[in-house]
Amino acid sequence: MGRFFYLQVLKHLLLAILAWLGFAFIALPHLPASWAGNYIFLSLLSVPFVLVLAATCVILFTTRFLSDWRWIFAILTLGGLGVLWNHVPTGTYTPSDPQSSISLLSWNVTNFHIRPDTLHQAAAYIRNLNPDIICLQERPHENLISWDSIRAAFPEYPYAIRNEQREDEVLNLAILSKYPLDKAQETYYADTYNKTLSVEVHASKPFRLWNTHLQTTGHLPTHFIGNAKRRNAQADSLKLDVTRSQLPTIVCGDFNDTPCSYTYRRLEQGMQDAYRLASRQWTGSYQPLGSWLRIDYILCSKHWAVQSYELLENPWSDHKMQFAILKN
C-alpha cells in the first residue's frame, strides 16, 4: 500500500512538472525579459517538447492512467501547437515587379572562414542573385580579410558601410547597396561583441534598415540562461530604436533565437516576418543540426508587401542566406 501510494505521488509530481513547463512554454514569448531567459531550453527544444506534450495527452486519453490530467494536457498541447505556428510559413510566392521592389540578402558569413577563396566564391554566387542590398553579419576583422577586399568582391555595389567605432575580431557587420546610404548609426551592446548597424536607404521611397547580430546562445549549457537574458535585453534596446523611426523599416540579421522566444516576439511585434508570409519551405536557417533551428530573420514594417522569401543553402557558412523581395 505504501509503495503504491508513493508511486502515484511520483506520477502526479512528474505530470505537474511537465504541465508547469508546458504553461511556461506557452507564456515564454510574453514573460518579462529576465524571466524568459530562464526558459531558454524550452525555446531551443520547442518542437520535441510539444511532441512530448502531445504524446502525454494521447496516453492520458487512450488509457485510464491518471485521467484527471487529460484536459490540462489537451489545453497544453493545443497551446503548444499554436506557439509552433510561428515556425510554419503561411504564404505563397508572388511574382515581383523589379521596377518597384527591393531585393535584400542577409547572411551570417562566419568570417568567410578567414579564406579569400571562400569570399570570392560566395560573392560570385550572391552577385548572380543580384540583390539590391546585402547585409553581412560576422564580417571578418580588417587584419583577417580587409574591408577593401570585401568591397572589391562586390564591385556592383557603390555604397557600403561597416561598423567602425569598434571593430572586434568577431561579429562585425556590413551593408552594401546599389542605393545611396545615409545617417548611419552604430549600436554596441555592453560586455559583448554584439552590435547593430542601421542606415537610411535612399531608394525610390526611403526607408530605414537595421542589420544586427544578437547574443549567441553558446555551446555550454551553463551559459545558456545568462546569454538568453543578455539577448532579450538587446532585443528590447533594438526594438526601442526601431519604433522611433518615422520611415518604413526593415530589421534583418542573426537573432540567435527561435520563433518561440522572447527575442523573436519582441522584435516581431508590429512587424511582418518575411519567412512566414512568403517562404515556400518549412526549414531552419542554421545549417548544422539538420537545419531545424530558425534563428535568422528578415522583419519589415507593414508598409511593405512581402513578395518572396528564400533560405539558400550554401557550403561557405553555417548559416543559410536569406533572400527576400519586398515592395514598398
pLDDT per residue as tens digits for the range 212-243: 999 998 878 889 999 999 999 999 999 999 99
**Overall average pLDDT of the 134-145 stretch:** 93
Mean pLDDT for the chain overall? 91
Q: Indicate whether 317 pLDDT > 70.
A: yes
What are 323's strand-pairing partners? 105, 310
What DSSP string describes 85-140?
A: GGGS---------TTTEEEEEEEE-GGGGG-HHHHHHHHHHHHHH--SEEEEEEEP
H/E run at residue 37: helix 33-37
Q: Indicate whether 92 pLDDT > 70.
A: no
Long-range contacts from 26-31, C-beta under 8 angstroms, 24+ separation: 26/76, 26/79, 26/80, 26/82, 26/83, 28/83, 28/260, 28/261, 28/262, 29/83, 29/260, 29/261, 29/262, 29/264, 29/265, 30/262, 30/265, 31/262
Question: Of 301, 319, 322, which Cα lies nearest the Cα of 311?
Answer: 322
Phi-psi region of 171 (alpha: psi -120 to 50; beta: other; left: phi over 0): left
286-287-291-292 Cα dihedral, nearest 10 degrees:
-30
For CA atoms 153, 252, 103, 83, give the dihedral sign. Answer: positive
Q: Indicate whether 310 pLDDT > 70.
A: yes
Q: What are phi and psi of 228, to 5 degrees?
A: -65, -40
Q: What are phi and psi of 132, to 5 degrees?
A: -75, -30
Q: How many CA atoms lie within 13 A of 274 on its CB side?
A: 32
pTM for the model stands at: 0.91
Residue 268 burial (10 A CB sphere; 0-12, 13-18, 19+)? buried
Q: Could you tell me the fold of the domain covering 101-327?
A: Deoxyribonuclease I; Chain A (3.60.10)
Is residue 311 a contact partner of residue 290, using CB atoms and an 8 Å limit? no
Is pLDDT larger for residue 92 or for residue 138? Answer: 138
Q: Indicate whether 93 pLDDT > 70.
A: no
Domain locations along the chain? 2-87, 101-327
Q: Give residue-wise pLDDT tens across range 154-171.
A: 999 999 999 988 877 678
Is residue 236 a contact partner of residue 277, using CB atoms and an 8 Å limit? no
**Overall average pLDDT of the 15-31 stretch:** 92
Confidence of residue 96 (pLDDT cuts 50, 70, 90): low
In the sheet with 207-213, reading across from the earlier edge strand, the strands are 181-188, 195-201, 207-213, 249-254, 296-300, 272-273
